[in-house]
């Protein structure tokens, strides 16, 4: 059975005190759970529900709605490539094709070694620097195929490059 | 009209996010002044009205008027929600404020709270904005530490709590009532109005919701005086606005211009024209929800009403510039895909309509379209653009999709000849 670490439990308790309703702490607590467990599956939903003293189905309803809540384990490096207008006209599809050909994954998939997962995402609010991608929490901008492959190679070697 | 840096005056200082550096450049002076002088809250609202400050989140609703809708003699708590969800495709101007001058936003939010009698503000920042979240959290912590937030600010007896809250990935949560539900820990379904948030908003209490840029402007309004601020802009749209330009221009980025500036000048002078000397095809002027302008239609002024008269909208002030190489049917399809992905699903017209438009786009791009499909698109757009949806997302998909087909019909037809 999954459990929250002591630090996470304390963080969650403090959050429940911060808002006029306990429910308002749900989304921040889901992010804590995601940090602890990597993704939110049925078991994690139950752990959250137990901790917050709410029903598991109300956790499910909310976790299902938000795209940043992972329902399946992402790769160590979760590639979020923007495919909205400004990135599309700056050749974002080329990057997506490369990922498909070279890493063998499409939207929603993860590589066999669990190193990379891919998600097509909507506008990341960095359109002046298109095309862009987030890798976990790091934004990479003005991606050419050359810059993109350099980033992927660095990640394969365990290095998180600067943008 | 050239650039005019009122709001963005200090954005270029790399240390502006540090409290001490910001203080040296005048941060929190207006808050300190109104608290020391015990300025009447109504007087601040009057300044904001005189400034003709309009909501910068897309709808352009007059900010001072919105504040005056909040009931006065209520024993319920009141809340401010700062809308930093910024997810309208093409838009990145609020991020520039959050990252470069977070104390400007905090001070503006505090001034709004003082004017409306609010003691708790939530700054809702979209989940994907990791770096802006870190910066704003730090700035809020620093402001608490210095006594600019919390209890008895500047010994005035005024209390204000500011809580940074983050989204979890959903464009719809930028819609004000969806934001309220999201803040309350629910899925981001927009609420039926009335009741309006000013009366029954967050946690069923009176709530003001304003965009990051709108609130930041309040500091400058109090520095300059409402009337002087208004005069920078036009009769109905006071002051300046941040414009985010992306796509095929030489110098994409965020630029601050007086309201009433020319879109053509923004693209050709300030942003250096179309990239690589190519020809302009079209401009999506105010974020993906706004109807496209053809190359020969871009000589318009950047004001809410003038843009409406030109058949489009100022929206969030995010211009996406498209050169001659761009396929409009592809942009149509990307646009419809976005709204289909982001529809919350509670209204049939929006849920089904967005997906249907996307599928029609795919069909046409794949070479299987028929001329009758274009009439179907226009018919669907009309049904989605009625008044029957809970929120404006359905119409926000219909309007640009309709304009793409109406203005570039031949390009769609050219994919059908075979
Ligand atoms: C689908 C949709 C998305 C929206 N997204 C945002 C947003 O990301 N940021 C924002 O400030 N306003 C957004 N708005 C507008 C808000 O509903 C609201 O009008 C605004 O936050 C009010 O603040 P303002 O008057 O200061 O502009 C959105 C509206 C709709 C219909
Ligand atoms: S118009 Fe669309 S997004 Fe808005 S409430 Fe209806 S279904 Fe949801
Ligand atoms: S379209 Fe990709 S960041 Fe905005």
**CATH number for the domain harbouring residue A98:** 3.40.30.10
CB contact under 8 A, B87 and A122: yes
Residues of A in Cβ contact (< 8 Å) with B203: 20-21, 24
Residues B269, B367, single domain; the answer is no
Q: Return all residues near B293 (Cβ < 8 A) that are at least 6 apart.
A: B263, B282, B283, B284, B285, B300, B310, B312
Note whether residue A46 is domain-resident: yes
Note whether residue A1 is domain-resident: no
User: CB neighbours (10 Å) of residue A11?
Assistant: 15
B161/B110 Cα distance (integer angstroms): 9
Per-residue pLDDT, B204: 98
One-character DSSP codes across B142-162: HHHHTTSSEEEETTTTEEEEE
Note whether residue A71 is domain-resident: no
Note whether residue A14 is domain-resident: yes
Q: Return all residues near B326 (Cβ < 8 A) that are at least 6 apart.
A: A89, B248, B281, B282
**CATH number for the domain harbouring residue B249:** 3.10.20.600
B15/B187 Cα distance (integer angstroms): 38
User: CB neighbours (10 Å) of residue B14?
Assistant: 8
Note whether residue A109 is domain-resident: yes
Mutating to test ligand 2, I would choose from B190, B342, B357 the residue with most ligand atoms within 8 A of its C-beta, which is B190
Mutating to test ligand 3, I would choose from A94, A126, A134, A139 the residue with most ligand atoms within 8 A of its C-beta, which is A126
- Which of A23, A64, A84 is the closest to B338 by Cβ? A84
CB contact under 8 A, B77 and A20: yes
A48/B161 Cα distance (integer angstroms): 27
Note whether residue A72 is domain-resident: no
Point out which residues pair with B166 in neighbouring strands. Answer: B125
Of B232, B266, B283, the last residue of a domain is B232
Point out which residues pair with B153 in neighbouring strands. Answer: B158
User: CB neighbours (10 Å) of residue B43?
Assistant: 13
The backbone torsions φ and ψ at residue B280, rounded to the nearest 5 degrees and listed phi first, read: -75, 135
Residue B154 Cα, ligand 2 centroid: separation in angstroms?
44
Which chain B residue's Cα is nearest to A57? B186
Residues A95, A134, single domain; the answer is yes
Residues A52, A91, single domain; the answer is no
The protein residue with its alpha carbon nearest to ligand 1, atom 25, reads B55
A123, A135, A139, A162: best to mutate for the B interface, most B CBs within 10 A:
A123
Find, among B70, B98, B71, B96, the residue nearest to B82 by Cα: B98
**CATH number for the domain harbouring residue B213:** 3.40.50.11540
The protein residue with its alpha carbon nearest to ligand 1, atom 6, reads B174
Note whether residue A37 is domain-resident: yes
Residues A89, A58, single domain; the answer is no
Per-residue pLDDT, B168: 98
Note whether residue B5 is domain-resident: no
Domain span at A144: 77-156
What confidence tier does B388 reach under pLDDT thresholds 50, 70, 90?
A: confident
Note whether residue B10 is domain-resident: no
Shortest-distance ligand to the CA of residue A82: 3
**Does residue B288 have a cis peptide bond before it, meaning omega lies within 30 degrees of 0?**
no
B374/B239 Cα distance (integer angstroms): 41
- Say whether A160 sits in a helix, a strand or coil: coil
Domain span at B336: 328-414
Residues A131, A104, single domain; the answer is yes
DSSP A101: I
Residues A13, A41, single domain; the answer is yes
Residues A52, A81, single domain; the answer is no
Taking only the tens of pLDDT, chain A with its 163 residues reads 899 999 999 999 999 999 999 999 999 999 999 999 999 999 999 999 999 999 999 999 999 999 999 999 999 999 999 999 999 999 999 999 999 999 999 999 999 999 999 999 999 999 999 999 999 999 999 999 999 999 999 999 999 999 9
Helix B212-224 crosses helix B29-37 at what angle (to 10 degrees)?
Answer: 60
Q: In angstroms, how far is CA B410 from the centroid of its own chain?
A: 33
B168/B310 Cα distance (integer angstroms): 36
Per-residue pLDDT, A30: 98
User: CB neighbours (10 Å) of residue A43?
Assistant: 12
The string of pLDDT tens digits covering residues B195-247 is: 999 999 999 999 999 999 999 999 999 999 999 999 999 999 999 999 999 99
Strand A133-135 and strand B79-84: the pairing is unpaired
Residues with CB under 6 A from ligand 1: B 55-59, 61, 63, 83, 85-88, 172, 174-176, 209-211, 214, 391-393, 396
Note whether residue B13 is domain-resident: no
CB contact under 8 A, A85 and B244: no
Number of domains in chain A: 2
Note whether B182 and B127 are within 8 A (CB). Answer: no
The string of pLDDT tens digits covering residues B278-313 is: 999 999 999 999 999 999 999 999 999 999 999 999
Per-residue pLDDT, B332: 98
Q: Is A126 in the pocket of ligand 3 (CB under 6 A)?
A: yes
Residues B61, B105, single domain; the answer is yes
Which chain B residue's Cα is nearest to A63? B187
One-character DSSP codes across B173-201: GGSHHHHHHHHTTS--PPPPSSSPTTTS-
In this model, does residue B417 exceed pLDDT 80? no
Please report the atom of ligand 2 found closest to the CA of residue B350.
2
The string of pLDDT tens digits covering residues B36-80 is: 999 999 999 999 999 999 999 999 999 999 999 999 989 999 999
Residues A47, A93, single domain; the answer is no
CB contact under 8 A, B187 and A31: no
The conformational region for residue B80 under phi > 0 = left, psi -120 to 50 = alpha, else beta, is: beta
Structure tokens at B51: 């400034």
Counting DSSP H helices and E strands in chain A, the numbers are: 7, 4
Note whether residue B4 is domain-resident: no
Note whether residue B279 is domain-resident: yes
Q: Return all residues near A158 (Cβ < 8 A) that are at least 6 apart.
A: none
Please report the atom of ligand 2 found closest to the CA of residue B342.
3
User: CB neighbours (10 Å) of residue A106?
Assistant: 11
Residues of B in Cβ contact (< 8 Å) with A124: 128
**CATH number for the domain harbouring residue B400:** 1.20.1440.230
Note whether B165 and A15 are within 8 A (CB). Answer: no
Residues B343, B370, single domain; the answer is yes
One-character DSSP codes across B230-289: HHHS-SSS-SEEEEEEEESBSS-EEEEEETT-BHHHIIIIIT-SBGGGPPEEEEE-SSTT
Note whether residue A90 is domain-resident: yes
Note whether A91 and A131 are within 8 A (CB). Answer: yes
Find, among B362, B352, B360, the residue nearest to B402 by Cα: B360
Interface of A with B (CB under 8 A): 18-21, 23-28, 30-31, 61-62, 64-69, 80, 83-86, 88-90, 121-130, 134, 137-139
Q: Is residue B199 packed enough to be buried (19+ CB in 10 Å), middle (13-18) or exposed (0-12)?
A: middle
Per-residue pLDDT, B277: 96
Residues A12, A56, single domain; the answer is yes
In this model, does residue B418 exceed pLDDT 70? no
The protein residue with its alpha carbon nearest to ligand 2, atom 4, reads B391
User: CB neighbours (10 Å) of residue A100?
Assistant: 14
Residues A123, A145, single domain; the answer is yes
One-character DSSP codes across B371-386: HHHHHHHHHHHHHHTS
Residues B118, B214, single domain; the answer is yes
- Say whether A153 sits in a helix, a strand or coil: helix
B91/A100 Cα distance (integer angstroms): 29
- Which of B166, B245, B331 is the closest to A85 by Cβ? B331
Which chain A residue's Cα is nearest to B205? A20
Nearest Cα of chain A lies from the Cα of B189 at a distance, in angstroms, of 9
Which chain A residue's Cα is nearest to B186? A62
Number of domains in chain B: 3
């Amino acid at each position: 059975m999954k459990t929250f670490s002591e630090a996470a439990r304390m963080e969650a308790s403090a959050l429940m005190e911060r808002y006029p309703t306990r429910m308002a702490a749900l989304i921040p607590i889901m992010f804590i759970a995601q940090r602890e467990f990597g993704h939110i599956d049925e078991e994690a939903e139950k752990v959250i529900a137990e901790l917050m003293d709410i029903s598991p189905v109300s956790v499910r309803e909310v976790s299902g709605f938000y795209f940043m809540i992972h329902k399946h384990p992402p790769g160590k490096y979760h590639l979020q490539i923007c495919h909205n207008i400004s990135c599309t006209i700056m050749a974002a599809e080329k990057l997506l094709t490369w990922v498909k050909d070279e890493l063998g994954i499409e939207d929603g998939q993860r590589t066999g070694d669990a190193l990379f997962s891919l998600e097509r995402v909507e506008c990341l609010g960095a359109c002046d620097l298109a095309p862009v991608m987030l890798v976990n929490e790091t934004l990479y901008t003005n991606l050419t195929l050359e810059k993109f492959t350099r980033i992927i190679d660095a990640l394969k070697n365990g290095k998180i490059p600067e943008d | 009209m050239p650039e005019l840096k009122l709001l963005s005056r200090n954005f270029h200082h790399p240390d502006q996010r540090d409290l001490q550096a910001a203080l040296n450049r005048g941060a929190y002076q207006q808050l300190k002044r109104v608290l020391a002088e015990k300025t009447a809250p109504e007087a601040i609202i009057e300044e904001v009205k005189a400034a003709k400050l309009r909501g910068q989140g897309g709808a352009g609703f007059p900010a001072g008027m919105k504040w005056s809708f909040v009931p006065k003699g209520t024993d319920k708590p009141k809340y401010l929600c700062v809308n930093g969800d910024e997810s309208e495709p093409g838009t990145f101007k609020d991020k520039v404020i959050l990252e470069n001058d977070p104390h400007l936003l905090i001070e503006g939010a505090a001034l709004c709270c003082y004017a409306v009698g609010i003691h708790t503000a939530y700054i809702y920042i979209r989940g994907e904005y990791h770096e802006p979240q870190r910066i704003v959290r730090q700035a809020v912590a620093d402001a608490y530490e210095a006594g600019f937030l919390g209890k008895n600010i500047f010994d005035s007896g005024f209390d204000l709590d500011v809580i940074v809250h983050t989204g979890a990935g959903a464009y719809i949560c930028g819609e004000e009532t969806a934001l309220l539900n999201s803040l309350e820990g629910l899925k981001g379904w927009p609420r039926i109005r009335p009741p309006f948030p000013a009366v029954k908003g967050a946690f069923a209490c009176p709530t003001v919701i304003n965009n990051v840029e709108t609130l930041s402007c309040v500091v400058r309004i109090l520095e300059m005086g409402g009337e002087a601020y208004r005069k920078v802009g036009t009769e109905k749209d006071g002051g300046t606005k941040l414009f985010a330009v992306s796509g095929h221009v030489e110098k994409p980025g965020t630029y601050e211009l007086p309201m009433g500036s020319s879109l053509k000048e923004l693209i050709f002078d300030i942003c250096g024209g179309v990239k690589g000397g190519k020809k302009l095809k079209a401009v999506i002027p105010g974020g993906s929800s706004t109807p496209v302008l053809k190359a020969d239609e871009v000589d318009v002024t950047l004001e809410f009403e003038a843009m409406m008269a030109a058949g489009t909208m100022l929206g969030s002030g995010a211009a996406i510039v498209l050169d001659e190489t761009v396929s409009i049917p592809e942009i149509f399809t990307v646009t419809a895909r976005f709204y289909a992905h982001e529809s919350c699903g509670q209204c049939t017209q929006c849920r089904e309509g967005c997906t249907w438009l996307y599928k029609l786009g795919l069909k046409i791009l794949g070479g299987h379209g028929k001329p009758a499909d274009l009439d179907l698109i226009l018919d669907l757009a009309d049904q989605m653009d009625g008044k029957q949806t809970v929120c404006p997302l359905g119409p926000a998909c219909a309007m640009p999709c309709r304009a793409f087909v109406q203005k570039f019909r031949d390009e769609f037809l050219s994919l059908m000849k075979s």
